[in-house]
Structure 1
Amino acid sequence: MKSRCNSLRCLKMRRIRSKDPIVIVAVFVSVSCFLVLILSVFRLPDVSFSSNGSMTSIKVKKVNKFPDKSGIIGKFGSMMIEMLPVDLSFTVFVPSEMAFERDLRLRVNDSLVGEKANDTYAILTRVLSFSVVPWKILSESVPYNEETTCDSLSGFKLYVSKDVDGMLVVNRVRSQRVDIRKGEMVIYVMDGVIMEAEFEQSVRPNDDEDED
């Protein structure tokens, strides 16, 4: 009887030992997946939500550098692009340098100096939330004379169409350059600032101040 019990005990021990490598591999895979998930979360923009559950603004981290050697995108546009992870698919509708000055009165030589720099960065972050779609939109994929609807990062509705010359029109703002590639991103330079009406009212330049 004793010998039989010993045999059963040995058999159980062998089974437990045979499972050890499987358990170790399973734990290793689980830990690896968890680490990848954590790293991915830290690379994504932080999105804040309003009380009704809609996305209202994003907090972004600089994770890439975008030197605009050609000058096509401009300083403010480059700052916006630097806020996004270069290895994720985004479509960015960046206002041109002239559009920033005309529509928001942002000037490189003035708006990035002293205390104005923080206000300018906050405006760029808000504009970014209206101007970025979290997937690629290539101009060739947009049909002529048809309107496509999509949501920006903030949940703001974007209405995208294409003119006969191949330029995209987003919420009545026409593009100047299309399909600029940066990593996984597709960038469009726009002849205007895409933004919701409430935000537009809050940043609208005072005509009286301009006359002074």
Structure 2
Amino acid sequence: MRRRQVLKHSIALVSMLVCVCCFFIVTMTVLRLPDAPTKESAMGFYPITRSRKVSLQDGNLGKFGEMMIDMLPQDLAFTVFVPSEEAFKRDLRLSVNDSLKSDRFNDTYAILTRILGFSTVPRALLSSNVKLGELVNYDSLSGFPLYISKDIDEMLVVNRVRSEIIDVRKEEIVVHLMDGIIMDAEFEQSVLSDNDTDED
């Protein structure tokens, strides 16, 4: 008699544990937690800044950014990862006051054209098209590979360059303002060595 009661209690206990485990699995599946940040973002390869989505009226693309956008046809879909004015100054030593003077304008325009080739994708790509934890790959107009992911606070990261402002629309063109310049190492070296020669 006692054995029968122990057996009944054991079966009831095991059944209850199975029910609790099933409930836990179903709950975790339905209420899926967001993915943990990738190893690169956790290690901090780019600075953490808080940004917000803005409309074109609020988003100041800067003189260089506007010049880049004006080089593209407005009626075709493009995505441009435009460097901020601060990024141009910090990374390429280009400033609006000096670089747009008549003696340097052609060189500056050529640099902007190359940057546009490295940082433009021939399709509209909004931040909502990139899922958190996903890495998407597109070739830019110049054939330079762009690796695009989304940070934990919804900002885009392209080749380890983080966005400051996302999803600015200018007709068919989508613009993301970046805290850095997307370019290949060879072009970066040539521009920086030209700047060093100019300063001497």
Q: Give me the TM-score of the superposition, normalised by structure 2.
A: 0.68
1:136 corresponds to which letter in structure 2? A
Residue 80 of structure 2 is aligned with which of 92, 110, 124? 92
State the alpha-carbon separation in 2 of the partners of residues 172 and 130 from structure 1: 14
State the alpha-carbon separation in 1 of the partners of residues 91 and 198 from structure 2: 12
1:134 matches 2:130: no
Q: In the TM superposition, what is the alpha-carbon distance from 1:185 to its structure 2 partner?
A: 0.7
State the alpha-carbon separation in 2 of the partners of residues 211 and 183 from structure 1: 40
How many residue pairs get aligned? The number is 145
Residues 54-89 of structure 1: CA deviation (Å, up to 9, x unaligned): xxxxxxxxxxxxxx8656210000000000011100
State the alpha-carbon separation in 1 of the partners of residues 195 and 119 from structure 2: 26
Residue 75 of structure 1 is aligned with which of 47, 63, 77? 63
Higher RCO structure, 1 or 2 (CA under 8 Å, sep 6+)? 2
Counterparts in 2 of 1:159 and 1:118: CA distance versus 1, 3 Å: same
State the alpha-carbon separation in 1 of the partners of residues 191 and 166 from structure 2: 27
Q: In the TM superposition, what is the alpha-carbon distance from 1:145 to its structure 2 partner?
A: 1.5
1:135 corresponds to which letter in structure 2? R
State the alpha-carbon separation in 2 of the partners of residues 172 and 105 from structure 1: 20
Equivalence for 1:45: none
1:146 corresponds to which letter in structure 2? E
1:88 corresponds to which letter in structure 2? L
Written as runs of structure 1 = structure 2, the 5 A alignment for 1:187-202 is 187-202=175-190
Where does structure 2 lack aligned partners over 5 or more consecutive residues? 1-55
Counterparts in 2 of 1:207 and 1:76: CA distance versus 1, 3 Å: closer
Equivalence for 2:51: none
Q: In the TM superposition, what is the alpha-carbon distance from 1:193 to its structure 2 partner?
A: 0.4
1:175 matches 2:163: yes
Q: In the TM superposition, what is the alpha-carbon distance from 1:114 to its structure 2 partner?
A: 1.8
- The share of aligned pairs that are identical, in percent, is 64
Secondary structure of 1:204 counterpart: helix
1:94 corresponds to which letter in structure 2? V
Where does structure 1 lack aligned partners over 5 or more consecutive residues? 1-67
Written as runs of structure 1 = structure 2, the 5 A alignment for 1:33-112 is 70=58, 72-112=60-100
State the alpha-carbon separation in 1 of the partners of residues 80 and 72 from structure 2: 10
Q: Which region of structure 1 is more displaced relative to structure 2, 118-127 or 70-79?
A: 70-79
Q: Give me the TM-score of the superposition, normalised by structure 1.
A: 0.64
